[in-house]
Chains A and B, each alone.
Chain A
Amino acid sequence: MRSQKNRMEGWLKGQTYMVEMLAVIIAAMIIIVASISVFTSINNYRSVSDKTVNTAQDAANALILTRGFPVDWDQNASSATVVGIVSRRNVIDPAKLAALNLTNFSTLMGLGRFNVSITITSGGETVYQVGSANSSTTMTLVQRTCVLTNGSPCRLSLQVSGG
């Protein structure tokens, strides 16, 4: 009678361990699947975000380092295929700057589906601003140092938001 009771207790103990092990395996699998899902989401977000950042950096370089294409695009803004706002590297061309808002500059820079804002400041004062970007949803802000025609150093800020 005693040995039968012992055998019964041992069987119950073994069954408890089995249930515990199954619970741990299921919990571990849930954690692993959740982890993979979190990392996949983060990587997808970063991939889209990185592409936007790279495009914005290239656009800022095209603006500040090139005269655009065609070189005299400011004479006929609709002909512009590349927007550049300088007369020589980093030196702002006022005529090109004035013509910038006549172009679809965000599309030409490959950022058509975003809100793009271009601001030029000098000595803390805003000397030029075109486009609009929402600061609460800003994805990237690219800044370059530039020079105005009067010889003052300036800062070009390209802000990309939304999308």
Chain B
Amino acid sequence: MVALIDAMLALFVVVSFTAMVTSTLQQKLTSPPIEMQRQGMSVLTSLEYLNQFYSPTAVFAETSGSLCMREEVYNGTSSALDATFVKSGCPESNSNEVVVWRTSVIGGQFKSVKLAIWLKTQ
């Protein structure tokens, strides 16, 4: 009985240690939110310059394959959703998405554009 408890404790310690090392290493692998925000800003700036808020497919295609994104165009007060676009091959949303906003004049009307970005899960 004592040997069994001893073995279980040893196993628990080994599993905990492995989990700690894995967790520490994984922190490096995940893209931090600030970098995703920066990428989001460059996407919005490109869309704004090209005036392609309502046809973002070509710009989405020039983003990293590991990133997913969804663009939502709202009216000026962000109270009504005009249109939604999702990058090809991506789900519509993710619980860990990072959001970037941009206000712009599109077609003579003041609009708010929301870009949600997240890492693609395999």
Report which A residues bind B (CB closer than 8 A): 35, 38-39, 42-43, 46, 49-50, 57, 61, 64, 88-91, 121-123, 142-147, 151-155
Interface residues of B (CB under 8 A from A): 17, 21, 24-25, 27-28, 35, 38-39, 42-43, 45-46, 49-50, 52, 58-59, 61-64
CB proximity of A38 to chain B, nearest CB, Å: 7
* Beta-carbon nearest neighbor of A64 in chain B: B42
| CB neighbours of A154 from chain B (8 A) | 62
**Is A145 a contact partner of B24 (Cβ separation < 8 A)?**
no
Q: Which chain A residues border B43 with CB–CB below 8 Å?
A: 145
Taking a contact as CB atoms closer than 8 A, the residue among A46, A49, A90, A122 that contacts B42 in the complex is A90
Can you give 14 A-B contacts (C-beta < 8 A)?
A35-B17, A42-B21, A46-B28, A57-B35, A61-B38, A64-B42, A89-B49, A90-B45, A122-B62, A144-B38, A145-B42, A145-B45, A146-B62, A153-B50
List residues of chain A with CB within 8 A of the CB of B27: 46
User: Which residues of chain A come closer than 8 Å to B17, judged between CB atoms?
Assistant: 35
Cα separation A122 to B62 with both chains bound (whole Å): 7
User: Is B38 a contact partner of A38 (Cβ separation < 8 A)?
Assistant: no
Interface centre among B27, B28, B46, B64 (most CB of A within 10 A): B46
